[in-house]
Chains A and B, each alone.
Chain A
Amino acid sequence: MTEVARARPTSSDDGQERMPGQSDMWVLVMIEAITFSSYFVVYTIYYCRSAEAFLRSQSQLDLALGVINTLILLASSWSVARCVERARAGDHRAATRNLALTAGGGLLFAALKLHEWSVEIGRGNFFSTDEFFSFYYFLTGMHLLHVLVGFIALGVVYYQLKSPARRSLEVIETGATFWHMVDFLWVIIFALLYVMR
């Protein structure tokens, strides 16, 4: 099974339609999006059943930390998109710099997440404390797992960018697609756990 080689335009604004990355990765993105959507709907249903209890627990979360984490991931999404744009333009050094920014953002996000968990545990809020915190640790934990897998995707992108013999734009876009998924999943988690009431 060979894939027809597609000419990659250097500008992304030339009106041509093309699939961003491998379509196979989009299968993964949609499956994860739908699976997480089911978790989010279940969360909302459980929230509505015991709103007061959920809100009391939610007030123990640090909204500012949630916002900072969201801004960090949005910035990392921007930098990986810039990495793809630079790779398309043939500027692989700039692409690698942006990739490093992305990885740095991911690490910062993970570190802050662990810090946030340690703060909550310090306050006596564990996974088994109440339903809100079960959802909190579950959703943020599953998401962090996806961030870790995202680092593998970024590693594959770095491997591509490193040597002129590789630099497959399709693989770079595919890795970036996974990272963007990690970002938009967090955007929804932030809204549900920190904002919605």
Chain B
Amino acid sequence: MTLSAHQRLVAAWFTLSAITLVAWSIGASHGRGPIEPDAAVAFSAIAITLIKVRVIIREFMDVRHAPARLRWITDGWLASFGLAMLLAYFA
């Protein structure tokens, strides 16, 4: 099913908002007592963020149709940033 440009934008926005609510439920402590560091939560937060930023760049910023160099540069930044964050947290 090919979406029109408008439908694609709405789908992207919907996905991003839904993922944000997922992040909210992960982040909320649900009254389980004092908040403690949680590697699973940290990893999910970072992973979710990388996905969200990539969707914004590819769909909203239209990098999907951009020259290959821009696609590589944005993906390259996202990947190195993700790696740096994981190293900073886990190493």
B81 near A37 with CB under 8 A, answer yes
Are B29 and A59 within 8 A (Cβ)? yes
CA distance A77 to B88 in the complex (A): 29
Contact A188-B49, Cβ < 8 Å, known A41-B84, A78-B9, A78-B12: yes
Q: How far is the CA of A20 from the CA of B19 in the complex (A)?
A: 25
Among B36, B53, B88, which residue has its beta carbon within 8 angstroms of that of A48? Answer: B88
Chain A residues within an 8 Å CB radius of B65 = 12, 16-18, 20
Chain A, interface size category, equals 35 or more
Q: How many A-B residue pairs have CB under 8 A?
A: 141
Q: Which residues of A contact B20 (CB under 8 A)?
A: 67, 70-71, 74, 190
Contact residue among B9, B59, B66 (Cβ-Cβ distance under 8 Å from A17): B66
Question: How far, in angstroms, from A48 to B39 measured CA to CA in the complex?
Answer: 11
**CB-CB < 8 A to B10: which residues of A?**
78
A178 CA to B20 CA, complexed, in Å: 22
Cα of A176 to Cα of B9 in the assembled complex, Å: 14
Q: A148 near B: Cβ within 8 Å?
A: no
18 contacts between A and B (CB under 8 A): A12-B65, A13-B2, A17-B66, A40-B81, A41-B85, A48-B89, A64-B24, A71-B20, A74-B17, A74-B20, A78-B9, A85-B9, A176-B61, A177-B61, A180-B60, A183-B60, A197-B36, A197-B42
